[in-house]
Amino acid sequence: MTAPLVTIGLEVHVQLNTKSKLFSSSSTEFGHQPNKMTSEIDVGLPGTLPVINKEAVIKAAMFALSIDAQLNEKSIFARKNYFYPDLPKSYQITQEAYPIIGEGVLKVDNKEIRIERAHLEEDAGKSIHDGHSSYTLIDLNRAGQPLLEIVTKPDITSAQEAIKYLKKLHHLVRYIDISDGNMQEGSFRCDANISIRMSSDEPLGTRVEIKNLNSFRFIEKAIDYEVSRQHLALMNNEKIIQETRLFQESSGKTLSMRSKENAADYRYFPEPDLPPLVITEALIQQAKDNLPTLPEKRVQELMLSTHLSMDEAEMVTTSRATEYFYSECVKKTNTQSYKTIYNLIFGELSALINKNQKSIGFQSVKPEHIALIADYLSEKKISQPMAKEIINALWHTNNGSVDKIIQEKGLRLVHDDSKLIQLIEKVVHSFPEQAQQYKDGKTKLLSFFVGQIMKETKGNADPGTLSKLLSKYLKESL
Ligand code: MN
């Protein structure tokens, strides 16, 4: 049985992280009591008029610039008509024939996934079916939230490739700070259009849409399930029906929801209450000013300026907050200890952040702390275990001081040769058996002695100096 050829197109709804909604001044904050974050406009009262939120337009423009997509000077809002309880106006304001963003490309592992378009639209409210058996509750806090819907051409050929594209897009929208990308809260949701055919000579098969996938794992499972379902149907000479399906998390299956509407069913027409959206030079400039150096370019910069490997530079750019933290450390180090800074951030500090479920921008170890600790490590004023101890102490103090912690805990490396030689003599003489074995050629025992002396100094001996003095002593005095 040959495997089918899979064709996937993705539509991603990215919720823009603006302060207010797309057409009203209501707050977009998540997690409030139902229907508290609504205005007359969001609930669709007659006589109210929508006003476009400039911040949302700038964020959409930032996305276009970040992937070098066509940013249309003029776009037009349209009404998409359908009746559903969580859509109070009975139409959604969206963009149809004239979207704000035209064609672009997102490169995934050297493959170009073409973006067909991206448009601005408002979100609908939420129907709450659980909790009451006899009726449905409506929460309109989400009604009017600004969405950027990003649509690919059918360029994706497997679930794995779909996930790679989505992760790249997710990283990008968070990095340029146009969305928080929170998938649990629905800030990044995906619809997948899937069709299969048995050979590339055949035309594309009938496509089926799976709606509202909001975790990478579910998206992968849903696509894989749908491909095998369609394949089995073809094997049994059944026809694939154009329809919308839902992914059921409990069974891992997709279930038929409704037969697919055609665009004509929505009776799209231009929104009479909004003028055409015009992108001015001034607005483009604002979008440019807000845009950080893009992750891929920043990786190259970091490799050049701070000598990180590509993997390390990619780690630094996993989020803008991490990139900012690292860059601040780099600015503050006096010894150019970039690699040490990297190791401190992704070692001890990351461990604390993960364990306590904090984020790097909201915790008490600051870039100046890490830079100073890295400097002290380079200058051999402190040891690695001491660095760890200092970071732990800083973690538990607000406005902590590295020097104060060093002083209070007595964390200074012993560099004093005479003091170390005294200790070496003492320790070597209290282990005569091991000393003899060392003399007989068991040179591995050097680390045993280092360990014993470290214990005596509570880890405060400089390991480099100690090893040097110790091997000299063992060679000469035995
Ligand atoms: Mn949409």
| pLDDT tens figures, 418-456 | 888 888 888 888 898 888 888 888 888 888 988 888 888
Instruction: Look at residue 307 and tell me whether its pLDDT is greater than 70.
Output: yes
How remote is the CA of residue 5 from the centroid of ligand 1, in Å? 27
Distance CA 242, CA 250 (A): 24
Instruction: Look at residue 1 and tell me whether its pLDDT is greater than 80.
Output: no
How remote is the CA of residue 149 from the centroid of ligand 1, in Å? 6
- To which residue do tokens 């051999």 refer? 380
**Residue with the larger pLDDT of the pair 55 and 422:** 55
pLDDT value, residue 113: 98
Instruction: Look at residue 282 and tell me whether its pLDDT is greater than 70.
Output: yes
Q: What is the band of 260 on the pLDDT scale with cuts at 50, 70, 90?
A: low
How remote is the CA of residue 349 from the centroid of ligand 1, in Å? 40
* Percentage, residues of the chain above pLDDT 70: 99
The whole-number average pLDDT for the span 318-336 is 96
The whole-number average pLDDT for the span 267-271 is 96
The whole-number average pLDDT for the span 194-204 is 94
- Within 10 angstroms of residue 467's Cβ, the number of other Cβ atoms is 16
- For each of the domains in the chain, give its residue range(s) and CATH number, in order of start: 5-283 (no CATH), 293-409 (no CATH), 417-477 (1.10.10.410)
Nearest CA-CA partner of 62 in 283, 354, 318: 283
- Within 10 angstroms of residue 182's Cβ, the number of other Cβ atoms is 14
Q: By three-state DSSP, how is residue 119 classified?
A: strand
Q: By three-state DSSP, how is residue 254 classified?
A: strand
- To which residue do tokens 């560099």 refer? 415
How remote is the CA of residue 121 from the centroid of ligand 1, in Å? 7
How remote is the CA of residue 50 from the centroid of ligand 1, in Å? 18
How remote is the CA of residue 123 from the centroid of ligand 1, in Å? 8
Neighbouring residues of 440: CB distance < 8 A, sequence distance ≥ 6: none
How remote is the CA of residue 138 from the centroid of ligand 1, in Å? 20
Phi-psi category of residue 422: left, alpha or beta, with phi > 0 → left and psi -120 to 50 → alpha: alpha
How remote is the CA of residue 9 from the centroid of ligand 1, in Å? 14
DSSP state of 347: I
Distance CA 242, CA 230 (A): 11
Instruction: Look at residue 459 and tell me whether its pLDDT is greater than 80.
Output: no
Distance CA 190, CA 183 (A): 10
How remote is the CA of residue 284 from the centroid of ligand 1, in Å? 24
Please state the φ and ψ torsions of residue 186, each to the nearest 5 degrees.
85, 20
Q: By three-state DSSP, how is residue 28 classified?
A: coil
The whole-number average pLDDT for the span 195-222 is 94
Nearest CA-CA partner of 245 in 226, 264, 262, 268: 226
How remote is the CA of residue 102 from the centroid of ligand 1, in Å? 16
Instruction: Look at residue 21 and tell me whether its pLDDT is greater than 70.
Output: yes
Element (H, E) at 15: strand 5-15
Nearest CA-CA partner of 439 in 402, 476, 414: 476
Mean of per-residue pLDDT scores for the chain: 93
